[in-house]
Amino acid sequence: MKLNYHHLYYFWKVARTGHLTRAADSLHISQSALSGQIRKLEESLGHDLFIREGRRLKLSEAGRMAFSYAEEIFRQGEELSALFASGAQPNREILRIGAVATLSRNFQEGFLQPLLNREDLELSLQSSHIDELLRRLSAHRLDLILANQTVQGDEQNPWRSRLIAKQPVSIIGPTGLEIQREFPEMLRHRSLIVPGPDNNIRQAFDQLCEYHRLRPRIAAEVDDMAMMRLLTRDTGHFAIMPPVVVRDELKSGALSDYGALPGVFEEFYAISIRRQFESPALRELLLQTSDNFLARPPVDHSD
């Protein structure tokens, strides 16, 4: 008997939600009709695909195998639809990039610079929380995510994290101060603006402070780098951040870099998903940025 892909699609939708009612609602069919379609698939395969656990459905061993095949089949189908449904000009590629909302705008601009003047490319930029961006990536509504954290993929979500930049984290503050430039003495009795406790930079900074028995006075915890930049510029407090965040203020002299924190870096990742058709522009961009960003040595601003 030939495999009925209509039945397989219904199975795939139920397997992804783990709930018959929610899958039926999303498919706009009755729960009984959906159950019947799945039973026909099970009969044709000769195996039960689900094990009931209360109101939820758990994949059987045969179900897990069927789901892995269905996942690949319908991922490629969504990818194909997205490829030809863009409505773009002929031979004009669309590249859809998402960025974590708290990521430095200056870093994003530097990363995307090689694409901005290409007439054969249309760039779509989206910003959101990492979980929402990963959902869009899995649904093939994004080609790439820029983030300052890595993610772990699995069989259902074959995400891949690639390190594209590693930059020092510095002590940034008002220009022209005569201060002790040795760490940690320079931070004693000073109010600091720091990233929130879940941020990788903050965690590394806290470990550094603990090692040096430094108890910094925290003026503000700020997750958004754009807000951190404004507060550092306007309050007179010192901040712990990558210099790229305040690139323009450092250049103009509005702020100064008082030195890199020893052993503290921010890492930037490009998160993608395994695809049958990889974008040529995306492949070229990742190669260029890896060469340009990762080849740069850390800059010492202590002089």
The confidence band for 296, taking pLDDT boundaries of 50, 70 and 90, is very low
At 66, list the tokens.
Answer: 């069927």
Per-residue model confidence as pLDDT tens digits over 152-205 = 888 778 899 999 988 999 999 999 887 766 788 888 888 999 999 988 899 999
Q: What is the mean pLDDT of residues 68-96?
A: 72
Q: What is the mean pLDDT of residues 250-255?
A: 95
Among residues 75, 129, 119, which one has the least CA distance to residue 98? 129
Q: What pLDDT sits at residue 268?
A: 92
Do 13 and 77 meet the contact criterion of CB atoms below 8 Å apart?
Answer: no
Buried b (16+ CB within 10 A) or exposed e, 164-181: bbebbbbbbbeeeeeeee
Among residues 292, 245, 227, which one has the least CA distance to residue 104? 245
Per-residue model confidence as pLDDT tens digits over 37-53 = 999 999 999 999 998 87
Per-residue model confidence as pLDDT tens digits over 225-241 = 889 999 999 998 999 99
Q: CB under 8 Å, gap of 24 or more: what pairs does 113-117 form?
A: 114/284, 114/285, 114/288, 114/289, 115/281, 115/285
Among residues 262, 217, 225, which one has the least CA distance to residue 243? 225
Q: Which residues contact 246 (CB under 8 A, 6 or more apart)?
A: 172, 229, 232, 233, 255
Q: Which residues contact 243 (CB under 8 A, 6 or more apart)?
A: 167, 168, 170, 172, 250, 257, 299, 301
Vertex 276 angle, CA 125 and 132, to 5°: 35
What is the value of pTM for the model shown?
Answer: 0.65
Among residues 197, 181, 187, 195, which one has the least CA distance to residue 238? 187
Query: Bridge-partner residues for 173, per DSSP?
Result: 256
Q: What pLDDT sits at residue 98?
A: 96
